[in-house]
A and B are shown apart, each in its own frame.
Chain A
Amino acid sequence: MSSSLAIERDNIRKLFPDTFNQARKSRIKGQIVFFLILIYLIIGFFTLDVVDIPKKWKPQNAAMFVLDTYAHKDHVTMKWENPDDIKIAFEGNYRSVYGRDNLDKSIPEWFYKNSDNIGNVIEFNNEGKAILYKDRVEIVNFPKYERDFTIRLNTNGKPYVVGSEDLAKDDLKGFRITENRVEFRPTLHERVQVYPKKVEIHRYSIGWKYFWFDFSSPLEPYSFFEALGLTFSKERVVPEMSNLKLFLTEIKDNEAFMHGRVWWAMLETIVMAVLGTMFATVMALPLSFLAAYNVTPIKALRFTLRRLFDTLRGIDFLIWSLIFLRAFGPGPFTGIFAIGFTDTGTLGKLYSEAIENTEKKQQEGVQSTGASKFLQHRFGIIPQILPIFVSQSLYYLESNTRGAVIIGAMGAGGIGLQFLGALGTGNDFENVAYMAILVLAVVIFMDRLSAWLRRILIGTDQLIVR
């Protein structure tokens, strides 16, 4: 059976030698291309320092970054010279100190203020404790540690772990001891630092605290829904304004998350994208008619417009935004015109191609009734291309939202610039995460919106090209 098949195959091969040679040729060509790509990838691997990833990638930094995006920390500070004055501050911010009289902020429940011989206890989430005495810090009850530790100052005023000479290196894991500092950090969520002058303890908890109402807000004791419920009650939380107004202004002026500013920036970005796309559509519509051969008989005009489209598109929106940034200063106009100019080129090209691909018969039908040229285009061409126009413009709306974020970061303002600012401070990573999520949500929303509009306007959410 197999031999007869082989004979048949040979026969076929003899009958159509050209076809088989061609197949082999194209296979070899494919292999050569594959190897060239492979060689390029290897070169790229080295020229772009991809090999350096393990060297550049600092897991500690990344872990801190990620930790800060989903957790917040409280600082407990005790100065050796005045051990009675223990400060507990949110994120170490001197404006957010718990238990300070004027703020009437109660001490958090994980802190126990005791008499001198028992010590002040800080309870961590993993049931480990740090106990502050006047002359020492004790670290007790940490899981995975068999013994407790005591940190004191020696006669020279330098911190040291009591009995550390007798301990094996393995027992001291989690400690980092230098001349002027003893740091204990068993996991990322607990950190005890002892300096010659003070003790500083960081206690991390998961979540975005003060997301709705900031530290000093009168509504802070309430949760979001409790506060929402309060807006219906007649009793005022503060006498100056109604609860509803208070509720809204407190959210808007939140110092930690800056909702008011962030949402305004987001609105700016959306305005850039929407108005930019509208501008491009309005500009491209008449120009594309003039650039289509079945509408415009003048070849020179068509050629000029085509090159104009190419140039507008070729000057990337980066360069446009640089030019407009000089003219308009930071603000949405820069973004609107940068997007508008680039997309006039893109949409003009796509539209004019769509017009050239229209069915001629409709136009001839209108012509047969003796209609003018204008009416021929109005009833012969426009009904055919309108869905394509709508589809293309809406399709670009979504990518322009992303573009507007980028233009914003180049200096035009909006959420891009806010993001850059939050990242630049180096410690507001919860804001970075918040804005990243917001951008993601808005881009996905615009994507869905444009798909939905395409569906109700033209019946399909796929991009129509012709």
Chain B
Amino acid sequence: MSKALPANLEQIEVNLKKLTNQRTRSSLLGIAILILVFFSGTLVSLEANAGSFGRGIANFFNYPRDLFIDTFEMGWKYWPRVVKYIPELITTLNIALFSTSIGFVLAVIFAIFSSRNLIRNKRVIQFTKFFMDVTRSFPTLIIAMVFLYLMGKSSLPAVIAITIHTAGALGKLFTEAIENCDGKPIEGLSSVGATWTQKIRFSVLPQVLPLFLSYGILRLEINVRESTILGFVGAGGIGEMLAALIQWNYGADVLACMFLLVGTIIALDYLSAYWRHNLIGVKQ
């Protein structure tokens, strides 16, 4: 016994050394890959970029400075300008809110049909999951541009694009939420002979609704950004205004739009954190 112990300890030490060596080696490998990716990426960027990196850094503050100088020259006359763009902002918010609501409803339907604990048919689940993957992976911009081309300039393409993307993105999260929910209430309702819809209404929905709403609010925040971006390619709202103002080089007005946007996004950020905190009792 007393002889076996040192031998054992030695063995442990050898194993430990082997393990640490292995870990060091794999971390080194990881770091090497990261550095390789970094350098090759930088090479690609240097090759592809129109302006040089150094001059870019030097010029970084030029544009913001121009904007601010333009704004300060206007003095107090500036504030009516900011107010002037609020209707545009409301259009953008409207697009986001409307398409989030419709996308939310679609996502709930998708999620029900792709949850393993609600649907027995594997084909249906696979198909819905694949469908959500596709709708989620298309950047909204691409869908919106195609529809803009087909339908002409209006807010509709943005609504369609954001709705499609939201349905896929929320659908995936909702599916996870439904699949992770407690199975006992479902069993309980099954035992008293509830129908499929009743089971969903009275056992699944109460469990997942707060989570759904929380995800939905988070999506709304993202969609406000998205609808601004889609405005840039011609879907209306403050994005389109901003694009035009930049082209005309109206510095003060550009800054006004930017302020409105940033203010809205930060406000929404806090609001959504607050709402979600109320809904599910956690901050994140």
Contacts and interface: CB of A to CB of B under 8 A. Distances in A.
Interface of A: 37, 40-41, 44-45, 47-50, 52-53, 56-58, 61-62, 65, 264, 267-268, 271, 274-275, 278, 310-311, 313-319, 322-324, 326-334, 336, 350, 353, 402, 405-406, 409-410, 413, 416, 419-420, 423, 432, 436, 439-440, 443-444, 447, 462, 465-466
Most chain B beta carbons < 10 A, residue from A44, A49, A318, A336: A318
A147 B141 CA distance: 48
A406 B266 contact: no
A409 B156 contact: no
B229 to A, nearest CB: 5
B187 to A, nearest CB: 23
Contacts of B239: 318
A332 B142 contact: no
Contacts of B150: 57-58, 61-62, 65
B82 to A, nearest CB: 16
B155 to A, nearest CB: 5
B233 interface: yes
Given A56-B154, A278-B38, A405-B139, A268 B283 contact: no
Contacts of B159: 48, 50
Contacts of A62: 150
Nearest to A55: B151
B28 interface: no
A275 B63 contact: no
Given A313-B265, A440-B134, 20 more contacts: A40-B101, A41-B102, A50-B159, A56-B152, A56-B156, A268-B45, A278-B34, A315-B262, A319-B262, A327-B60, A327-B62, A329-B56, A331-B48, A336-B45, A406-B141, A409-B233, A410-B229, A413-B50, A443-B138, A443-B139
B247 to A, nearest CB: 11
27 contacts: A40-B101, A44-B101, A50-B156, A56-B154, A56-B156, A57-B151, A275-B45, A311-B262, A313-B269, A316-B228, A318-B225, A318-B229, A318-B232, A323-B63, A328-B59, A329-B49, A331-B48, A332-B49, A353-B284, A405-B141, A409-B233, A420-B145, A423-B146, A436-B138, A443-B138, A447-B137, A465-B284
B131 to A, nearest CB: 13
A323 B229 contact: no
Nearest to B44: A271
Interface string B61-91: 0111000000000000000000000000000
A436 B139 CA distance: 9
Contacts of A443: 137-139
A47 B92 CA distance: 12
A48 B138 contact: no
B207 interface: no
B95 interface: yes
A324 B60 CA distance: 7
Contacts of A439: 138-139, 142
B38 to A, nearest CB: 6
Contacts of A420: 145, 233
Interface in B146-176: 146, 149-152, 154-156, 159, 176
A410 B239 CA distance: 11
Contact of A409 (B37, B141, B246): B141
B53 interface: yes
Contact of A40 (B44, B97, B156, B229): B97
A313 B150 CA distance: 34
Given A318-B225, A326-B63, A443-B137, A331 B45 contact: yes
B41 A275 contact: yes
Nearest to A44: B98
Contact of B56 (A61, A278, A328, A350): A328
Nearest to B141: A406
Contacts of B246: 322
Contact of B94 (A48, A329, A331): A48
A268 B258 CA distance: 27
Interface in B4-40: 34, 37-38
A231 B239 CA distance: 51
A319 B260 CA distance: 12
B49 A333 contact: yes
Contact of B154 (A37, A45, A52): A52
Contact of B146 (A41, A416, A432): A432
Contacts of A278: 34, 37-38
A333 B53 contact: yes
Nearest to A440: B137
Contact of A333 (B45, B149, B176): B45
B100 to A, nearest CB: 11
Contacts of B266: 310-311, 314
A44 B94 contact: yes
Contacts of A329: 49-51, 56
Nearest to B222: A399
A443 B138 CA distance: 8
B96 to A, nearest CB: 11
Nearest to B37: A274
B42 interface: yes
A311 B44 CA distance: 30
A19 B150 CA distance: 56
Contacts of B64: 323
Given A275-B41, A319-B258, A440-B134, A466 B284 contact: yes
A316 B145 contact: no
Which of B134, B146, B154 has the most CB atoms of chain A within a 10 A radius of its CB? B146
B149 A402 contact: no
Contacts of A58: 150-151
Nearest to B98: A44
Contacts of A332: 44-45, 48-49
A271 B45 contact: yes
B57 interface: yes
B241 to A, nearest CB: 13
B165 to A, nearest CB: 9
Contact of B269 (A314, A328, A432): A314
A413 to B, nearest CB: 7
B245 to A, nearest CB: 11
A410 B53 contact: no
Contacts of B284: 350, 353, 465-466
